[in-house]
Structure 1
Amino acid sequence: MVPFCNEPLAELYRDECIVVVNKPAGLLSVPGKPPNHEDSALSRLQRINPETRVVHRLDMSTSGLMVFGLDADSHRALSRQFQDRLVEKEYVAEVWGKLEKPEGKVELPLRCDWPNRPKQMVDHELGKPSLTLFQKIENQRPEFDRVLLKPVTGRSHQLRVHLAELGHPILGCEFYSHPEAQQASNRLNLHATKLSFMHPLTEAPVTFISDVPF
């Protein structure tokens, strides 16, 4: 059973084509199976405008920026940008331990771990390519590192798996962290902090930024 998320879904921008929101941790991106999984970012927005359409998703435990289309043409244009990897996405994570390198990349093939879904796993034979660029950024807590993440691909749980494979699982991660890292935070310390794309109507580049809440 998914608990109801009491935090509001903050709108950062709305016009006739799109709405950009800051999704709180603990809120689904889209509704799950009823009767206990109906609250979501999409369902809340559809109560304002029933034509709202989902373009991409964040894990329930991940907070941060999402864009939704408000009509069929805008939805199609945005979806094409995500599919063609024309959207710039940045995340910030707080991870267990200290990274040896200040920056680098993780490139591993991933697939669903079906007996343990929704978990994902590295599979060099059947997995699909995935690539994440990472860079250490300043953190006030000396025992943990804060990392800027730029996913080139968009596989499910990609950032969580990649950091766990580096030996630095994200704090609060319920799937890939060891008990100490999981208990180090009361939430998943992963936030979608930047989203850049071309406006579907004007085709002008737009960028949205969201402050890290942890």
Structure 2
Amino acid sequence: MSRILYRDGLVLVLDKPAGLPVHPGPGGGETLTRHLDALRFGLKWRPELAHRLDRDTSGCLVLGRHPKALRKLADLFATGRVEKTYLALVSPAPAADRREIELAMGPAAPDTPWRMKIDPDGQPALTRLQVLARAADGERALVALEPVTGRTHQLRVHCAASGFPIVGDAIYGGVPRGAPLHLHSWRVGLPLSRAKPPIRVEAPLPEPLRGAAAALGFDVNGWKDSADETFS
């Protein structure tokens, strides 16, 4: 299956396309969970999601292949030991090439618990950001984002609140609905064994993010060997 980025006895890592929800919603329609039975590959269990991505976010999505693997992955995600790097196109460009965004978050309203806002009394949230390429006029930048915590819509809210919303974000960026969200789960690192280095997986950039990155002069291949250095 072309969307499978990695498979072993414990985990699957899929390249989720933008626009595909991982869970059923009130409006019905296609979801990733409808296809999990086809990903057993000989096991009696179907794989289950170890985390989630927004419908409009593409890229690396981790699944556990059996209950023991899911428990292991749940612990890794809960304790912040999974390496997660996202790529996003933001506008305008951040002033600094590197920064940390530490802003607590909470639901925007009781009837929309999925929509978040900056809330000093909410849950702590920390994002690390590095600018990888920027337009000469400062209008856009390609950034790498590391969500140290894993709050709902964290990257989208943190970027918007910091003055450089993610391009195509109709919820937090103030643009019309229907534009593609330029947010991609680029790399994950899974420390599944204490005796071995983490399993590292990278999802290829989809269009239109790939084209936007190329227009800014970002060479994906040039960063193939820098997975450990992005936020060092």
TM-score exceeds 0.5 = yes
| Matched letter for residue 80 of structure 1 | D
Q: Please tell me whether residue 199 in structure 1 is matched to residue 192 in structure 2.
A: yes
SS of residue in 2 equivalent to 1:168: coil
Q: Structure 1 residues 47, 25: closer, same or farther in 2, change over 3 A? A: same
| Matched letter for residue 132 of structure 1 | T
Q: Please tell me whether residue 130 in structure 1 is matched to residue 121 in structure 2.
A: no
**1:149 corresponds to which of 140, 145, 168:** 145
Alignment deviations for residues 50-69 of structure 1 (CA, whole Å, 9 cap, x no partner): 52111100000100101101
**2:181 corresponds to which of 188, 196, 200:** 188
Instruction: Name 1:26's counterpart in structure 2.
Output: 19
Deviation at 1:141, TM superposition (A): 8.1
- Work out whether residues 42 and 52 of structure 1, in 8 Å CA contact, stay in contact via their aligned partners in 2: no
**2:55 corresponds to which of 51, 55, 60:** 60
Alignment deviations for residues 7-66 of structure 1 (CA, whole Å, 9 cap, x no partner): x971112223211100000011223347x24x3223212233252111100000100101
Note the aligned Cα RMSD (angstroms).
2.3
**2:99 corresponds to which of 100, 104, 117:** 104
- Work out whether residues 23 and 63 of structure 1, in 8 Å CA contact, stay in contact via their aligned partners in 2: yes
TM-score by length of structure 2 reads: 0.79
Alignment deviations for residues 166-201 of structure 1 (CA, whole Å, 9 cap, x no partner): 11111111210123xx57x83100000010012369
Q: Structure 1 residues 21, 110: closer, same or farther in 2, change over 3 A? A: same
Q: Distance in 2 between matches of 1:26 and 1:95?
A: 19
**2:166 corresponds to which of 157, 170, 173:** 170
| Matched letter for residue 124 of structure 1 | P
Q: Please tell me whether residue 121 in structure 1 is matched to residue 114 in structure 2.
A: no
| Matched letter for residue 63 of structure 2 | F
Deviation at 1:203, TM superposition (A): 5.9
Instruction: Name 1:5's counterpart in structure 2.
Output: none
Q: Structure 1 residues 144, 75: closer, same or farther in 2, change over 3 A? A: same
Deviation at 1:207, TM superposition (A): 0.2
| Identical amino acids, percent of aligned pairs | 32
Deviation at 1:118, TM superposition (A): 2.3
Q: 130-139 vs 40-49, which deviates more?
A: 40-49
Q: Distance in 2 between matches of 1:137 and 1:73?
A: 38
